[in-house]
Amino acid sequence: MWFTATSFEYANNATSLAVTRKYLKAEPASEVTHCSSVAQPDFDLIMFTHCNLAVLIVVLTLHDKVHTGEIIGGHEAVAHSRPYMVLLEMHRPGGQKAHCDGFLVSEHFVVTAAHCNATSYRVFLGLHNYNNQNEVQHVNVPGENAFPQKGYDEAEFKNDIMLLKLSTKAVLNKNVKPIPLADRDDRSLPKSCIVSGWGRTENSNHQSPKLLEVNVTLVENEMCVKKNKYCSKDKGGPGQGDSGGPLVCECGKAYGVVSGNQQNTNGYTMIPEYRDWIDCILKHK
């Protein structure tokens, strides 16, 4: 088991890996839904208006990388091609700082992992290169604006999902846009998934200053399913510092949240299992 939040250091190399998976249906997460059902926000129209168009964009973006083999090791994302991505600077007792990733789901809220807990946060919106922060929005989040899932189990990384309410709403533009979330009924196997983040790269103790991305697919893992997670295995996928970022699959929807890793398995908290809870927070907080 390893903890994927880390302090921000820099490196220029970009590495990760693609892996394969089948889908195993998870048990319902009724025990982790603490709010009654509410109407779902219409996120699907915010970023992508047509599923096939979103898939086509993904294919075109990755086409050159597939033939060079660069996608196997991960590569730099096209600047601002993932405008929902958020870097979180976490402030902890004693002046310590660490970093996680997150993703914007509305003008007011960011989703991340529950294990990215801190006393307060500084949120970077519209960021691609940490060394060039022109037009990047910086928003503070006090600790009382953090809403971790109440059933979060730190030892097992179960229910590893959290919402952060921004102290001032995000200014939406071409570099800052919310991502639609997978629906509660999206139970089939997500395919053509991508993970992105500023986390550590392979064989390096440093984080990348630039946003990286890599293709991942999922492997069948009964333990993951019992914890309401998708899993990918082998060398690749997210690295240290990528916690809280999105697993983006069909139609450009966020299907999972990068979580803690166990026994060489990368875990992603299943968003469909938590839609009622997420929608409740978005509406009432």
Q: Which of 91, 108, 115, 128 is catalytic?
A: 115
Active-site residue flag, 243:
yes
Helical ranges in the chain per DSSP H = 44-47, 51-68, 222-226, 275-284
Q: Which two tokens stand for residue 4?
A: 């994927």
Q: Which of 16, 208, 243, 259 is catalytic?
A: 243
Helix (H) or strand (E) holding 47: helix 44-47
Q: Which of 174, 168, 43 is nearest to 108 (CA)?
A: 168
Q: Active site includes 188?
A: no
Please identify which of the residues 101, 108, 128, 160 carries the catalytic annotation: 160
The CB density around residue 196, as the number of other CB atoms within 10 Å, is: 26
Catalytic-residue membership of 284 = no
- For residues 183 and 51, the answer to whether their CB atoms sit within 8 Å is no
Fill in the DSSP letter of residue 136. -
CA distance 110 to 182: 15
> Would you say 16 and 212 are in contact if contact means Cβ atoms under 8 Å apart?
yes
Catalytic positions are 115, 160, 243
